[in-house]
Amino acid sequence: MAQHESTMYPPGVYARSGTKFLWVVYWHRGIPYRRSAKTADPKKAAEARERLITEVRGETYISPKEERLTLTALLDAYLTARDLEKGAPGRDVACVVGRLKALIGTWRAVDVTKPKLQAWAKMLRDQQRYAPGTVRKYLRYLRAAYASAREARLVSSLPPFPTILVRNTRKGFFSEPEFQVFIDALAPRPYGEMLVDIVVFGFYSGWRKREILELPWTYVNHEARCILLPATGTSKRPEDRELALDYRLENGAWANHPLWQLIERRWKARVVGTSLSPWVFHRDGRPVVELDGAWVSACREVGFWRVDDPCPRCAKARRPRCAGHPTKTMHDLRRSRVRIFETHRIPREVGKTFTGHRTDRIYGLYHPTVVDDQRDALRVLDRGPAPKIIVPAGLVRTTGAHSSRAARYSSRTVGEKVANLAEK
């Protein structure tokens, strides 16, 4: 009778049936992992296990689960986390994430490096004609997905991301004469009254296009003459926002502001056959998705038009030459409203409740400064006496080799110096 002798292995090393190699077991973040040591020598298997434990302690370890993680799974986890933290992601977020999954969803998360991202961004910009702003947006969402995955311990580290320089800040806005000319050109077109009401509402409210086009009647309070725009949970609208449609005069009567007159027109136009449209702005009961056709034709008619050579947009669409583009967009209505608020010195805290901006920095970007503003500044300065500029004594040195010169600067105004030079 043969005697069975059990083999003694080092701690964490064991034999597995069906293979000649030894296996090792170790722990990472409370989870046991087992790997083949790729050797039948117990001593070498123990050394392999020690190397894995050293990697785990030094935060350079990549678990088998992390090695298998693709960007598609990482982006899906980001959408899930965003849904729990901020509510359901908006269509813009879902669209960008879907596009990222179509472009690089098969990449492994551990293979993403800064040189690889730089090469991918350059390919999008140069070969596929993506705008720099679009490329930067993709990288920002991908970085946010990595940050969310690191917090959830799906990845151990966040790779460095390249920086994309973007210079696409728009400064377009409607002056009041331009706005009047534009709505006069828009009125004769099909559904002209409804299109004019959309544009007028955007001019007075400063709302985003989608907030206007998707406005239902359930948000309109007829008694208080205001609109309550509920929060969507996204960064665009994280909290409820109200818009006043009218105000009361000193005698207590309503003033019938143009915004309220517009709502009353749309209330009468909600009847479509035998049904009522749930949307404030609609085409025969259907919500308005876009107004690009009418907008483009009206811009061409009144001269808000530009032909670029070369044109990146037409080159991306593989057109032989630029067909022309409007110089005004519906988003310019937001800048127009902010510009009017700033010109009339409306407090920014009040203005931001109209437009939905959360920071003064972004709100200030919607008030572009043009040459006419500089001319107005010169005109105002010419009407009054020029202020005297005095060099503060505390800002110049009063000791050392230049003490006498400093004393002269601190005791004389710039105007006196100019007058003395003119006499000489």
Instruction: Encode pLDDT of 244-277 as tens digits.
Output: 999 999 999 999 999 999 999 999 999 998 999 9
pLDDT value, residue 5: 40
Average pLDDT of the chain to the nearest whole number: 83
| Tens-place pLDDT, residues 306-322 | 887 667 667 666 677 77
Per-residue b or e along 160-169, where b marks 16 or more CB atoms closer than 10 Å to that residue's CB: ebbebeeeee
**Between 129 and 283, where is the model more confident?**
283
Q: What does residue 216 show for φ and ψ, rounded to 5 degrees?
A: -95, 165
| Tens-place pLDDT, residues 229-239 | 998 755 577 78
Q: Interior CA angle at 174 toward 168 and 176, to 5°?
A: 165
Sorted by where each begins, the domain ranges of the chain are: 20-61, 68-151, 176-291, 393-419
CATH number among 1.10.3720.10, 3.30.9.10, 1.10.630.10, 1.10.443.10, domain 176-291: 1.10.443.10
pLDDT of 422 above 60: no
Paired strand residues for 36: 23
Q: Are 204 and 259 in contact (CB under 8 A)?
A: yes
pLDDT value, residue 290: 87
C-alpha 297/C-alpha 278 separation (Å) is: 28
69 Cβ neighbours under 8 A, 6+ residues apart? 108, 109, 110, 149, 154, 155
pLDDT of 54 above 60: yes
Task: Give the pLDDT mean for 127-148.
Answer: 91
| Tens-place pLDDT, residues 379-421 | 888 876 655 555 555 554 544 444 444 444 444 454 555 455 5
User: Which SS3 state, helix, strand or coil, does residue 39 take?
Assistant: coil
Beta strands in 110-265 (DSSP E): 220-221, 226-229, 241-244
Tokens 């406005």 correspond to what residue? Answer: 215
